[in-house]
Structure 1
C-alpha cells in the first residue's frame, strides 16, 4: 500500500483571522471553503493550496464541537496529518492486521466526497493520522 501525504489539518479559532498568513505570506490559493455540520465533526473548513501541498484550516462551528474541545485541550496548531491511499478499505484492513487501531466512529465520506478514517493516536505514539481516498469523486 502506498501512502501519499494528502494534507495537513490545522486547528484555528477563526478561519478569517488565520487565512491572511496562508494566502499573503505563504502565497497560498484558497481552493475551497465549506461547513461540515455532520454530528461529531461540526467544523468550518478552508482548503488552501501552496504549490503542490494542501492545508486545511479547521475552525469549530460551535463551542461544543470536537474541534472546540481539541483547541481547549491542546491549543491551536496541527490537528492531523492525512495520507491518501488508493483503496481505503484495503488500507484499513492491512493496517489492522499489523495491530493498528482506528477510531471507527470517524469513518465517513465528507461533504466533498473524500472517504476518510482516523487512526487511533494510541497506534501512532500520539499523532492523529487520517487515511483517505477519493474513490467517490
Structure 2
C-alpha cells in the first residue's frame, strides 16, 4: 500500500543540520578516514562513562559540516548495541532549532516519542527521539544560544538518560 505525505497542522521548524553522529566500529580508523582522506579537522575527543557502560567519540569539522564519531567501549553500551542491531553508520541526525521545547511539543503532538527529557546546559539545549524501528534513525533537536560545541555535562546527562531509558 502506497502512503501519501500529509503535512501536520503544526510542523517543527528546523533551521539546519547541526551535526550527524556516526556509530563506528573503530574510532581511530574513522578519524583517519575523515581527516586523512576527506580533509576534516579533529576538534575534540571525549571519553564518556555512564553508570554501566561507556563511549569514546571524536568531533570533526570541515566548513559548516560537522560529524561526531562514536564507538562503544563495552558490548552493552548504547553505541555497541546500535552497531549490533543496525550496523555502523548514522546514529542520529541533529536538527538545529530555535526553541527545543516548542519543537518537542509539536513533534510529540504528531506522535513522536523521546528517549530523553530536554538536556539543558549553558548555551545549549538538546532533545533526543526514540529510534524509528523501520529506518533505525534517531533525531536530536538542538537549540544553541552561544555554545558552538558540546558541553561535557550535557554529554554525560545524555548518556545517563539513555542508560535509564534503555535507548540507543
Residue 132 (str. 1) matches residue 142 (str. 2): yes
Gaps of 5+ in 1: none
Aligned-partner SS, 2:127? strand
Q: What is the CA-CA distance between 1:73 and the residue it aligns to?
A: 1.6
Aligned CA distance change for structure 1 residues 53 and 59 (closer, same or farther; 3 Å): same
Q: Within 5 Å, give how 1:1-137 maps onto structure 2.
A: 1-3=12-14, 4-39=16-51, 42-103=54-115, 105=116, 107-109=118-120, 114-122=124-132, 126-135=136-145, 137=147
| Cα contact 1:37–1:43 (8 A) shared by 2 | yes
Deviation readout 1:52-94 (Å, 9 max, x if unpaired)? 1000100112221111111112211111111111221121112
TM-score, length basis structure 2: 0.68
Root-mean-square deviation (CA, aligned residues, Å) is 2.6
Tell me the number of residue pairs that the alignment of Structure 1 and Structure 2 aligns. 135
Q: What is the CA-CA distance between 1:18 and the residue it aligns to?
A: 1.1
Aligned equivalents of 1:73 and 1:123: distance in 2? 10
TM-score, length basis structure 1: 0.82
Gaps of 5+ in 2: 1-11, 148-168
Aligned equivalents of 2:38 and 2:19: distance in 1? 15
